Structure 1
Amino acid sequence: MRTTIATAVVSGLLLGLAPLTAAVAAPSGGDLPPGCKRHKQYGHTFVICKGENGKDGADGKDGPQGPAGPVRAPQVLTGPEQEVPADTSKEYAGPECPSGTSIVGGGHYQVKTPSFALVQGDRPDGQQWKVWLNNAHVGSAKTTATSVKVYTICLPVD
């Protein structure tokens, strides 16, 4: 029997038989240790043994802090106080979002209360928020003038 461990180890690595933990000589046809198998290559018989996987190594150190992300704080732009006369129904607009931002919402609040003005709807329109108020006479209730401020919510775009 003529098998050297060095030949077996080098041949096993060249054949891509990693992970390779031991190469042993064994007589042809003899019993092999657990985890071992015979491999024939280039007229030679090699016995290749693979052990159990070892324990995982310790975790590496944390990497450096990454760069800060972009600041994307919303801007709330409030328009001027707008008069809402009694017995009217009309639309009121908030300010437009500036260049480099996009509208993401909006709303309104009535400055003078109490008021019987009813919201008929609100919506984005281009880069500004609009609200439709109905301050018309309803039933026996007498309407009074009020005022409203409309606001637009804008978010910076990438």
Structure 2
Amino acid sequence: MFETIRALRKPSRRDIALQNAGLGGILLLLVAVPAIDVYRTWAGARAEKAAWTIEGPPCPVVERASSAVVGHKRPKTFTYNKITFTRHLGDVSCAAFREDGFMNPENYSVCQFSGPGAVTVEFLGRSVTFQPGPGKRTTVTVRDGRATCVVAGWFARRPRSYRMRDV
């Protein structure tokens, strides 16, 4: 009724080598796929940080904004990353970045203005007013407890005819 089971052949060295190579290949894929994603995320963050690192001549610091420079428009105030910014003209775009170092929890903020006339920055109980002048692209960085400003940047105001569209 029952047939005798033939003895299984003993695996050869080649069979063991192929099994180990297959297992090694699977393990390599399990490590490589997340490693590629981590690298892409890191490289993207570095590229964005480099794009927001703006160099240029420093903005003049004044006691308060001159109405001759900013006109009679009401100032626009907003808070970003626990820092209050007040501008009189133009548009703004901000970003926050982590300081260099593995698992460093510290961060800093950068805001680019399309032509603010003057920018007042309030943080840590201090206030500083920069007056680059109207129509000049301006970048303000708040880092290590101090605010710096340069008359430079790539952020520009959208044209008046621009309309947001559903994509």
TM-score under structure 1 length normalisation: 0.23
Report which of the two has the higher share of helix: 2
Report which of the two has the higher share of strand: 1
Higher relative contact order (CA 8 A, sep 6+): 1
TM-score under structure 2 length normalisation: 0.23
